[in-house]
Chains A and B, each alone.
Chain A
Amino acid sequence: MTQDPLSSIIATEAQMLEGGWELIVGLEVHVELATKTKLFSGSPNHFGDEPNTNIDPVTLGLPGALPVLNKQAVELAMRIGVALNCSIQPCIFHRKNYFYPDMPKAYQISQYDIPLNIDGFLVLPSGTRIGVERAHLEEDTGKSTHVGGATGRIHGSDYSLIDFNRAGVPLVEIVSRPDIRTSEHAKEYVAELRAILEVIGASDAKMEEGSMRVDANVSVHKPGTMFGTRCEIKNVNSIRALGRAIDYEARRQIDVLDSGGTIRQETRHWDDAEGRTHTLRVKEDADDYRYFPEPDLVPLAPSAEWVQAVRDNLPMLPAARRTALSALTGYDTQSEAVIVVVERGQHDYVQAVVDAGGDAVRALIYVQQGFADAGPVPAVPADDLAKLTVLERDAKLSATQAKTVLAELVEHGGGDAAAIAAAKGFEAMDTSAVEAMVDEAIAADPGAWAKYMAGDEKASGAIVGRVMKASQGKADGKIVTAIMQSRRG
């Protein structure tokens, strides 16, 4: 049996698709770099401005205009290379020639056979290592709007309008090796990559705004044989959509193959509403980009000092952050709370809450549960959140009460947790009152109590539930449990 030379990763039993098919996925991720100006000219790299305002002779491809490389774009591309464990090498730029109205010069300046970053890898939080073939610099295109017709799509439109504000925005294209074997791993790869890009300040990496664009090369084959013909899936605008698109496409290909058909190499468009892919275009021999070295640019050869400085100044990456957060909280590095908080870039915030005297575990859980949309720097001051964690830890508030106060903090962007609790009439119940409630609950459900006494821990839920109901959530669950344990003896 021969394994395809492109990847040595073999799916585990659990990762195999039914019917003995193995899924092979490689991802091409384009990210817009967070520079002030464009890759080859000084007009602003800024999303959302009035059309055709961020333009200059280079951006518009005017006759006589010449590109000059943006140093910060190189710096950010090198950060990506270092973060993805790539070798950074002397490189050159090529022209990729093709006509399209949003491509002003009718060629894209990109990197071809000698890119800046090569041979790296990314380790998924779940532990799998995915190869990164290359991460190269190139320029973005303008944006077309299709007018008329029913769908706002190209087909059936009456005409199109072009805005060149995005043309020339610096991109890094990160090409993975075909090492991905499940749609979950694909999602994990993109989520981890996004977290890395945010942490290192290379890109805001927003799939919804198009500053991070993911194309998936999907094929299926039987293990031990050469890889199948792949299809490139475009228009995947969220991580969730990526998983759905890959699962759909794998199913489609398997159905074709199982019924004796063959897969055509083609580009397919993911329709999120319909939940399916459809043919965008078939790859043809006519794709002749006539690459040649860009004569208007000189080679780029970052010095060893520059590379070292990038390495030295790289912030802590998500994997290291998970380790640190794990050490801080005692949660596993692969626990959902740790992964999610690091992915959102909120690791520093949790640390800040702890530094402000907060309880680490509660800080982690509060941030995980209450700050999903808060970004890396939540509006709630770390100090305010720290005080809330202490109130709960010291049993001044029950978990349920604390949750309510947390919601208030999030809504108002901070506040005095103790004052909010007081205003809501949350007071820590004194233990004797709770003891009375526990005794009432035992009396009300002797069956559950008997099971609990016999060692069935699950049976405690019924008793605790009664106490919580009676106390309207004011009783602290841990104290209730402690009282029950003391009654059991």
Chain B
Amino acid sequence: MSPSGTPISAADVAKVARLARLDIDEANVAHFTEQLAKVMGHFSDIDALDLSGVGPMTQPFPLVNVLREDVEQPCLDTDEVLAAAPSSDQRRFRVPPIIGLDD
């Protein structure tokens, strides 16, 4: 499938929704597909650019080697943090059974 030029398909949308852990029903897949296809249609403008020899810009301001000393800082209060959790147990965060996940 050619990346640029080919409109995003419903299958693509369903796949990225799965990757992004967003439950989306079929009707909404169609709705989002239409909107995203329209938006991405505009993105083909950059296909006209000659980008050979242009390096990617990942950082707006050129800094390098920003390091901190290996010194302990105060920790957060466990009670305050767990109080904000949807569910906790034995001073740990509690989640439903971990199945259907990689690894």
Contact = CB atoms under 8 A, between A and B. Distances in A.
Instruction: Please determine if A and B sit in direct contact within the complex, based on CB atoms under 8 angstroms apart.
Output: yes
B65 A60 contact: no
Contact of A162 (B65, B68, B93, B102): B93
Given A52-B82, A55-B75, A55-B76, A287 B93 contact: no
Interface in B62-96: 63-76, 78, 81-82, 89-96
Contact of B70 (A35, A155, A280, A287): A35
Interface residues of A, number: 56
B66 A42 contact: no
Nearest to A163: B92
Nearest to A97: B19
Contact of A44 (B64, B72, B95, B99): B72
Contacts of B102: 98, 100, 281, 286-287
A295 B58 contact: yes
Given A70-B70, A72-B70, A267-B103, A161 B90 contact: yes
Contacts of B2: none
A430 B103 CA distance: 70
Contacts of A280: 103
A160 B93 CA distance: 8
Interface residues of B, number: 37
Given A162-B92, A281-B103, A144 B98 contact: yes
A465 interface: no
Contacts of A297: 66
Interface string A261-304: 00000010000000000001100001110100101011111100
Contacts, number: 133
B96 A159 contact: yes
B59 A298 contact: yes
A161 B89 contact: yes
Nearest to A69: B67
B97 interface: yes
Nearest to B96: A159
Residue of B70, B72, B82, B94 with highest tally of chain A CB at under 10 A = B70
Given A52-B81, A299-B64, A36 B71 contact: yes
Contacts of B94: 159-162
A231 to B, nearest CB: 15
B67 A101 contact: no
B54 interface: no
A60 B85 CA distance: 11
Residue of A42, A53, A157, A158 with highest tally of chain B CB at under 10 A = A42
Interface of A: 35-37, 41-44, 50-57, 60, 68-74, 92, 98-101, 144-146, 154-155, 157-164, 267, 280-281, 286-288, 290, 293, 295, 297-302
Given A57-B76, A159-B89, A161-B92, 19 more contacts: A36-B70, A42-B71, A55-B81, A56-B75, A60-B81, A69-B68, A70-B68, A72-B69, A159-B95, A160-B97, A161-B93, A162-B93, A267-B103, A280-B103, A281-B102, A281-B103, A287-B102, A290-B19, A298-B59
